[in-house]
Amino acid sequence: MAFEYTLTKRPYSDEEAKMLLKDVVSPETTDWHYNTHHKGYVTVLNKIEQALEKADPAGANGNYSEVGELKRRYTWNHAGALLHDVYWAVLGGDGDAKKGPEVLRAIEKQFGSFDKWKADFKAAAVSAKLSGWGLLVYDALWSKQLLNVLVDEHQYGAIWGGIPLVACDVFEHAYYHKDGPGRAKYIDNFLNNLHWGRINERFKTYVK
């Protein structure tokens, strides 16, 4: 039976997003990015769910098959939707990490200082290809560390069992309307807009 995914609501309205995120992205982008790009991943994911029910698994092979392509696009759209959930959830704050005391202590323990973490996170996000993400993840299934990782597209380079606590979208559609090719400037503004209270709640929920 096909599962039905739904678009996760942001912790602020569309109108509030234009004001809360104005230093990070343009007002138009807050709308396009959520109501077109993000919603599109969810819409297509549900179409793939339905298509997989009808696809013939006997035709699967390592060259081309309907099942194979559907499975491949499933990963793309699932990861895209999930990472956008985190992206919107962690934005809309004032960048004050002291408002997330538990996660801040963990970051300082892992990276030596908050500034060292921030520099490493920015380096990861800047280094992603033209379509990708910079992520702070908790390596839940292996090292139990906090790791800054870069992911190309939505899934290449992902850590198995890595739970995203912070997600910075560096696809060009995320920032070009405001900053053009200024990815580094956009990442700085992203970090300065993080809502560490909500990040702290994610940390307490998922880090054991």
Can you spell out the DSSP letters for 64-111?
--HHHHHHHHHHHHHHHHHHHHHHHHHBSS---GGGSHHHHHHHHHHH
Q: Which fold does the domain 25-90 belong to in CATH?
A: Helix Hairpins (1.10.287)
Q: pLDDT per residue over 82-109, tens digit each?
A: 999 999 999 999 999 999 999 999 999 9
Using an 8 Å Cβ cutoff, are 67 and 59 in contact? yes
What is the share, in percent, of the chain residues with pLDDT greater than 70? 100
Asked whether the domain spanning 97-206 has the same topology as the one spanning 25-90, the reply is no
Tell how strand 162-169 and strand 146-152 pair up: unpaired
Burial 34-59 (b: 16+ CB within 10 A, else e): beebbeebbebbbebbebeeebeeee
Q: pLDDT per residue over 6-57, tens digit each?
A: 999 999 999 999 999 999 999 999 999 999 999 999 999 999 999 999 999 9
Q: Please tell me the predicted confidence (pLDDT) of residue 70.
A: 98
Q: Please tell me the predicted confidence (pLDDT) of residue 130.
A: 85
* Domain extent listing, the chain: 25-90, 97-206
Q: 208 or 3: whose pLDDT is higher?
A: 3
What is the share, in percent, of the chain residues with pLDDT greater than 90? 99
Average pLDDT over residues 120-142: 97
pTM for the model = 0.97
Average pLDDT over residues 172-185: 97
| Element (DSSP H or E) covering residue 200 | helix 196-206
Q: What's the burial of 156, exposed, middle or buried (CB within 10 Å: 0-12/13-18/19+)? A: middle
Using an 8 Å Cβ cutoff, are 163 and 137 in contact? yes
Q: Which CATH number fits domain 97-206: 3.90.45.10, 3.55.40.20, 3.40.30.10, 3.20.20.140?
A: 3.55.40.20
Assess whether pLDDT exceeds 90 at residue 123: yes
Average pLDDT over residues 130-144: 96
Q: pLDDT per residue over 73-89, tens digit each?
A: 999 999 999 999 999 99
Using an 8 Å Cβ cutoff, are 48 and 77 in contact? yes
How far is Cα 63 from Cα 59, in angstroms, rounded to an integer?
A: 11
What are the C-alpha distances in Å from 95 to residues 75, 99, 146, 169, 184? 31, 9, 19, 17, 16
Name the percent of the chain in helix, strand, coil, to the closest 5: 55, 10, 30
Assess whether pLDDT exceeds 80 at residue 208: no
